[in-house]
Structure 1
Amino acid sequence: MREVGVILIQLLRLAAYLAIHMLIISKLVLFDLGWCFFYLGFLLFLPIGTPIVVQLGLGFVVGFTMDLFYDTGGLHAAAAVLLAFLRPWVLRLLTPRDGYDAADSVNVHQMGGQWFVVYLALLVGIHHAAFFLLELGSFRTFGLTLAKIVVSTLFTGLTLLIVQLLFVPSRRTR
Structure 2
Amino acid sequence: MFCKRESDGIDWYAYSRNPETFKPGSVKITLYDVGSALLTQQVYFDASFVFPQNTRLVEVVGFAGEKPHNEFQRKFFDLETMTFNEAVPTPPQKIIAKADIWRRATDEEADTILYILSQQTTRKRRIFNDATYIDHTDSMFAEMLQALTAAFGEARAVELLAPSDMLSG
Classify the TM-score, shorter chain: under 0.3
Larger radius of gyration: 2
Question: Which fold has the larger relative contact order, with Cα–Cα distance below 8 Å and residues 6 or more apart in sequence?
Answer: 1
How high is the TM-score relative to the length of structure 2?
A: 0.28
How high is the TM-score relative to the length of structure 1?
A: 0.27
Higher strand share: 2
